[in-house]
Chain A
Amino acid sequence: MKTQFSVAKFDQKLQERWGEVMEEKKQCKGCGGALPFVIGFVAAVIAGWVLFPDLIYSKKTQPIRFSHKVHQEQGMECSSCHTFRDDGSYAGLPTNEKCMECHADVVGSDPDEAKYVEQYAKTGKEVPWLVYQYQPDNVIFSHKAHESFECKSCHPDMSKNDTPPVYYQNRLSGYSKQTMKMWQCERCHAENGVSNACHVCHK
C-alpha cells in the first residue's frame, strides 16, 4: 500500500527538526564553541610535523661504521675513493678492490675494520652500503658534467664525520630522505643558466 504524501505533515516534521537543531545550538554554546576545532587543528599540526616524519621513514644504519674523518686525517680526498671510470662515468662508492688496497688485512684496532675484513674483504662479497642520494632510474645524472662544483655543494660535508649518519628510508617511495628532489636540480640549473628542458635529465 502506498503512503500518501501530505504537505501539512511534512511541514510539521520540518518545524520539529528545526526546533531540535536550535536546541542543540543553544546547548553547544556552553561546550567550547570553536575550541574543538582549535584542538583538532593544533593536534594535526603537531602530528604532521613531529610524528609524521618519524612514521614515514624507517631508520637504518650502515653495515660497517665507516669513518670519513679517519680517512680524511690520513690525507685522503673525496676523489681518492669516489672516482670516475675511464669512460667518464662515476664509480660512486668504492668496491672491495679499492678498500682492500689498504684493508686486505686488519691494520688498526677498530672492531668495524675487523668486521669489514672478516665479512667482506676475505669473502669477496661487496659491502651493501646504503647510498644516501641514489636518484630514480629515470634520472640521468652525470657527475662528470658537474665536476667543476665541490662535492659538498650537493652532498653533506662528510670530512668530519666519524660515524655514518642514520639512513632514513621512505617507507612509501623506498628512496632515502636525502635524495635530491627535482626542484633542487631545477633551481640550480636556473641559477646557473642551464636548460631545464625535460630531456636534459630524463632520456
Chain B
Amino acid sequence: MGLDRRGFVKFVVGGVAGTLFTPVIWQGLDDASIWSQNWGWIPRVPKGEVKTKSALSKLCPSGCAVKVKVIEGKPFAAVGNAANPMSKGGVCPICAGGAQLLYSPARVKSPMKKVGEGKFEAIKWEDAEALLVEKLTPLKGQEGKIAAISGDETGSANEVLSALLSGLGNAGGFAVMPGEMYTATRGVKLMGGNGQPGFDIEGADLVLMIGADALDSWGTSVANLKAFAASHPTGGAATAQYIYAGPTLNNTASVCDKWLAVPPTATATFSLALAHALIEAGAVSSAADFAEYKALAAKAAAGFEAATGLKAEALKELAAKIKAAKAPLVVAGASFGQGAGALDFVAAASLNVLLGRVGQKGGMTVLGAAPKAIASAADRENAKDAASLLAQVATGKAAPAALLIYEANPAYALPQAAEMAKAMGNIAFKVSFSTYMDETAALADLILPAPHPYERYDDAMNPYGVAKATYLAGKPVLKQPVLDVKDPVDVLLAAAGKLGLSLGFETYADVIKAKAKALGADFDALAAGGIWNGEPKGGALSLGAGALAKAAPAAADEKAVALAPVTRLAYGSATLATPPANLLNVRDTELKGKDLFVQLNAATAKKLGVAEGNKVKLSAGGAEVKALVHVNEGVAANTAAILLGFGRSAWDEFTKGKGDNVYKILTVSDEAGTGLKVWAGSTVTVAKV
C-alpha cells in the first residue's frame, strides 16, 4: 500500500486537525504576543532597589533641587526634594524630565572637531584640549581677541570664565546671555541701589506681576507656585491676591485672581499710570525725586487707555485693591524673561518704593554682591550682554579671534537670531561647551561635551527672583558619566594652567567648595538638597524718575502690532529645546504639524484683515516667521502672541523642524538713557501669505 497524493493530503489535514488539540498554536500565539512586548529598543529599568540621590538640576534657568531615583546606579526618574526649603518638594516641568534628558539622543557624545560645513569628527579629549590651548596661546595678552559667552546666570563657572579671560588680558570679553537678572540689576542701579533685586512673593498678601510670568517661566517658578498654592488652599478662602498684568492669558494669568491685558509695548506706561492712580488715592513717598516722578506718572496716565486698550476704571480698581492690602508687592519683569529695558523694570519696581515696600516682609529686596571664590573674577553685573557683543562683532567694532561659549545658545536664543548666528561666522575659532547638540554647537569649530547635571558638580548663587541671598550646590549622582564628557570648568582650569595662568583651583568641585566656605555654608548639607540663605536687605532706593524721564515714547506704527513671545517652561528655555516628553503638552492651537499659531484677539484680527486658520507671515527687522492665525481673546489689544522655543535646526528628531524661531523677528533697539539693547517691545507687521 503506497501513499499517493490523496493519502498525503489526508495525512496533512489530519496533522493540522491534530495540532488544534495540542498547545502548539495557542501557546505559540500567547508567547508571540509576549515576545512582541519585548522589542530590544524598548528602554528597560533594571530590577532592583530604588535609591534616591540628591542633585542640583540646572536644566531650568533657576535650578531645581531634586531627588533622582536610581536603580543599580542608573537614574530613571526625578522628583522634587522635600528637604529643600525653596522648592518644598516641587519640581519644574523641565527638571522633572531630567532622567530622560540624561539619555537624550541630542547629547554630544564625545569631543568633536569641525571638518567641513556642518561636518564634525569625533576626537580624543587630549587632542581637543591641546587644540584649545593651541588656539588660545597666540591670542594671550591681546586685548579684545578672546571673548566668552555664558548662558549660566548663577554658577561659579562664570567666575572661572571671567578670571580666565582677565588673566589672558581680555577682561572686557566676558559676556552673558541677557536674562532678567541682567537688566534688573541695571535697573536697581538707576534707582540708586546696588545689587540684584529680590521679591518676597511668599510674604505678600497681594502680588501684582507686571509682565513677569512668575507662576510659569519667571524666576524661581517652583517656589513661586508653592507660595501661590499655600495662599490659595483647595476649598478654602485665598489669603493673598495674585494679579497678572501682561500680554497673554498665559499659565500665570489663567490661575491668578485677575488678569489685566497689557501689551508688551505698554508695560512702563501701565506701571506709571498705576503709580498715578495710587498717588491720586493718597500714596506719597519721601524719595527725593517724588515730585518729578508724580509728574511723569500723570503724563503716563493721560496716555494709558490709548497705549493699553484698557479702561482707566480698571486701574482705579487695582489701585484700591493695592491700597487695601497690608503687604502688596509688585513683581517686575518681561513676559518672556528677557529683552525688557531697565526702564520697564524701573517703572514697575518704583511702585514698591512708592508703596514703601522695599526691605519689608513681603516686599522688594536688594541682594548685595556675593563673596567670590576667585578674587580676580569680574562682578556678574559688570559683564557685557551677548547681544551687544555679537552686534559689535557684526559691525566690526569687536573682532575676537576666539569665542568660548559656555552652556549658551546665542545662535538661536538672541534677538535677530539669524544675524547673530551670521556674526558668529566672523569669529575664526568658536568653542562650544555644551551638553546637547544645539544650534550654536552646530556652528562651532570645536565642541567639548559638558556633563548633564547628574554627572557634575554645580552651584547656583541667587537664582533670579529670590528675596534673600540664596546658595545651592550639587554633586554628581553618577559615579561615571553616561558619555565621554568632561566638566567645562575642569577643562578651562587645565587650559589655564597650560597657558601659564593659575586660578588657584584644579577642579570645579574645588571652586564650589571654596565658594561654600566663603559663604560659611556646609557643602555636604547643600549637596543633600539644603540651602544657604543670607539676610534680606532693603536699601534706600529712589523712584528712578531721572532715568524714566529719558525714556523715549514708543513711535506709533499703525501697520504694526506688538509682538508678545510666549514662554512656557515645559517647552524649554533659552538653553534647552523642548524635552521630547513635553512635546505632548503642546496644544493644537499652538502648533499644528510644523506650523506655529499666532494668537490674535478678534479686534486685532479684524484690524489686520485676517481670520482663523489663515496663513500669515510676521515680519520685522528683515526676517519673517510664517504661522497660522488662531483667534483668541486671551491676548491683549494690538498684540500678536506666538510661542517661543520652536523652529529648532539642531537637537534631535523630536524637536527639530517644528514651527519657527520667533527670536528671528525680535528686533533690537537701544534704550534711551541706558544704552541697553532691548527687544521686549518689538513690533511686527502681519500679512496674509
B291 at the interface (CB under 8 A from A): no
Contact with A along B33-46 (1 / 0, CB 8 A): 01101100000110
Instruction: Give residues 1-53 of B contacting A (CB, 8 Å).
Output: 1-4, 6-8, 10-19, 21-24, 27-28, 31-32, 34-35, 37-38, 44-45, 47, 49-50
- Closest A residue to B9 using CB positions: A36
- Closest A residue to B24 using CB positions: A48
- Nearest chain B CB to A33 CB, angstrom units: 9
Neighbouring B residues of A32 by C-beta, 8 Å? 1, 7, 10
A78 at the interface (CB under 8 A from B): no
A166 at the interface (CB under 8 A from B): no
A32-B1, A48-B23, A52-B23 are contacts. A40–B15 as well, Cβ < 8 Å?
yes
B44 A34 Cβ-Cβ under 8 A = no
A44-B19, A175-B34 are contacts. A31–B13 as well, Cβ < 8 Å?
no
Neighbouring B residues of A175 by C-beta, 8 Å? 34
Indicate the size class of the contact surface on chain A: 35 or more
A91-B49, A170-B31 are contacts. A41–B17 as well, Cβ < 8 Å?
yes
A37-B10, A136-B34, A136-B37 are contacts. A85–B4 as well, Cβ < 8 Å?
no
- Closest B residue to A138 using CB positions: B37
A30 to B4, CA, bound (A): 11
Contact with B along A16-39 (1 / 0, CB 8 A): 000000001001101110111111
A36 B3 Cβ-Cβ under 8 A = yes
B19, B23, B28: residue with the most chain A Cβ atoms closer than 10 Å: B19
A173 to B33, CA, bound (A): 8
B18 A31 Cβ-Cβ under 8 A = no
Neighbouring A residues of B4 by C-beta, 8 Å? 24, 27-28, 31
A173 B11 Cβ-Cβ under 8 A = no
A42 at the interface (CB under 8 A from B): yes
A24 to B19, CA, bound (A): 28
A161 at the interface (CB under 8 A from B): no
A40-B18, A45-B21, A91-B49 are contacts. A56–B27 as well, Cβ < 8 Å?
yes
A48 B21 Cβ-Cβ under 8 A = yes
A28-B4, A45-B21 are contacts. A173–B31 as well, Cβ < 8 Å?
yes
- Nearest chain A CB to B51 CB, angstrom units: 10
A28-B4, A48-B22 are contacts. A89–B50 as well, Cβ < 8 Å?
yes
A137 at the interface (CB under 8 A from B): yes
Please tell me which one of the listed residues A40, A53, A87, A170 contacts residue B11 in the complex, with CB atoms under 8 A apart: A40
B32 A52 Cβ-Cβ under 8 A = no
Please classify the interface of chain B as helix (H, G, I), strand (E, B), loop, or mixed, using the class held by over half of its residues: helix
A197 at the interface (CB under 8 A from B): no
A56 to B6, CA, bound (A): 32
Neighbouring A residues of B6 by C-beta, 8 Å? 24, 28
A30 to B3, CA, bound (A): 11
B3, B6, B14, B19: residue with the most chain A Cβ atoms closer than 10 Å: B14
A31 B49 Cβ-Cβ under 8 A = no
Neighbouring B residues of A172 by C-beta, 8 Å? 28, 31-32, 34-35
A43 at the interface (CB under 8 A from B): yes
B49 A85 Cβ-Cβ under 8 A = yes
Please tell me which one of the listed residues A31, A40, A134, A170 contacts residue B14 in the complex, with CB atoms under 8 A apart: A40
- Nearest chain A CB to B20 CB, angstrom units: 8
A35 to B22, CA, bound (A): 20
A44 B18 Cβ-Cβ under 8 A = yes
Neighbouring A residues of B21 by C-beta, 8 Å? 44-45, 48
A31 to B1, CA, bound (A): 6
A149 at the interface (CB under 8 A from B): no
B44 A137 Cβ-Cβ under 8 A = yes
Neighbouring B residues of A89 by C-beta, 8 Å? 49-50
A31 to B23, CA, bound (A): 31
Please tell me which one of the listed residues A42, A56, A87, A136 contacts residue B50 in the complex, with CB atoms under 8 A apart: A87
- Closest B residue to A47 using CB positions: B22
A56 to B31, CA, bound (A): 10
A10 at the interface (CB under 8 A from B): no
A-B contacts, CB under 8 A, total: 108
Contact with A along B234-276 (1 / 0, CB 8 A): 0000000000000000000000000000000000000000000
A5 at the interface (CB under 8 A from B): no
A36-B10, A37-B10, A137-B45 are contacts. A44–B15 as well, Cβ < 8 Å?
yes
A27 to B13, CA, bound (A): 20
A174 B38 Cβ-Cβ under 8 A = yes
Please tell me which one of the listed residues B14, B27, B44, B49 contacts residue A41 in the complex, with CB atoms under 8 A apart: B14
A39 B38 Cβ-Cβ under 8 A = no
- Closest A residue to B44 using CB positions: A137
B1 A48 Cβ-Cβ under 8 A = no
A42 to B11, CA, bound (A): 10
A172 to B27, CA, bound (A): 10
A85 to B49, CA, bound (A): 8
Neighbouring A residues of B24 by C-beta, 8 Å? 47-48, 52
A124 at the interface (CB under 8 A from B): no
A49, A87, A173: residue with the most chain B Cβ atoms closer than 10 Å: A173
A39 to B9, CA, bound (A): 12
- Nearest chain B CB to A202 CB, angstrom units: 11
A32, A36, A53: residue with the most chain B Cβ atoms closer than 10 Å: A36
- Nearest chain A CB to B76 CB, angstrom units: 12
- Closest A residue to B18 using CB positions: A44
- Nearest chain B CB to A80 CB, angstrom units: 18
B7 A45 Cβ-Cβ under 8 A = no
Neighbouring B residues of A63 by C-beta, 8 Å? none
Please tell me which one of the listed residues A28, A49, A92 contacts residue B7 in the complex, with CB atoms under 8 A apart: A28
B49 A48 Cβ-Cβ under 8 A = no
Neighbouring A residues of B12 by C-beta, 8 Å? 40
- Nearest chain A CB to B400 CB, angstrom units: 52
A49 B23 Cβ-Cβ under 8 A = yes
- Nearest chain A CB to B133 CB, angstrom units: 40
A37 B22 Cβ-Cβ under 8 A = no
Neighbouring A residues of B47 by C-beta, 8 Å? 92, 134
B13 A40 Cβ-Cβ under 8 A = yes
A43 to B10, CA, bound (A): 13
A20 to B45, CA, bound (A): 67
Neighbouring A residues of B27 by C-beta, 8 Å? 52, 56
Neighbouring A residues of B50 by C-beta, 8 Å? 87, 89
Contact with B along A170-182 (1 / 0, CB 8 A): 1011110000000
- Closest B residue to A91 using CB positions: B49
A44 B28 Cβ-Cβ under 8 A = no
A173 to B19, CA, bound (A): 21
B13 A45 Cβ-Cβ under 8 A = no
A45 B31 Cβ-Cβ under 8 A = no
- Nearest chain B CB to A163 CB, angstrom units: 25
- Closest A residue to B2 using CB positions: A31
A31 to B6, CA, bound (A): 10
- Closest A residue to B14 using CB positions: A40
A170-B31, A172-B35 are contacts. A36–B22 as well, Cβ < 8 Å?
no
Neighbouring A residues of B17 by C-beta, 8 Å? 37, 40-41, 44
B49 A38 Cβ-Cβ under 8 A = no
- Closest B residue to A52 using CB positions: B24
6 new A-B contacts, CB < 8 A, other than A39-B14, A136-B37, are: A36-B8, A40-B17, A41-B14, A89-B50, A172-B31, A172-B35
4 shortest interchain CB distances as A-B pairs:
A48-B22, A40-B14, A44-B18, A37-B14
24 sample A-B contacts, Cβ–Cβ < 8 Å, listed by A number: A30-B1, A31-B1, A31-B2, A35-B10, A36-B3, A36-B14, A44-B14, A44-B16, A44-B21, A44-B22, A45-B18, A45-B22, A47-B22, A48-B24, A52-B27, A56-B31, A87-B50, A89-B49, A89-B50, A136-B38, A172-B32, A172-B35, A173-B34, A173-B35
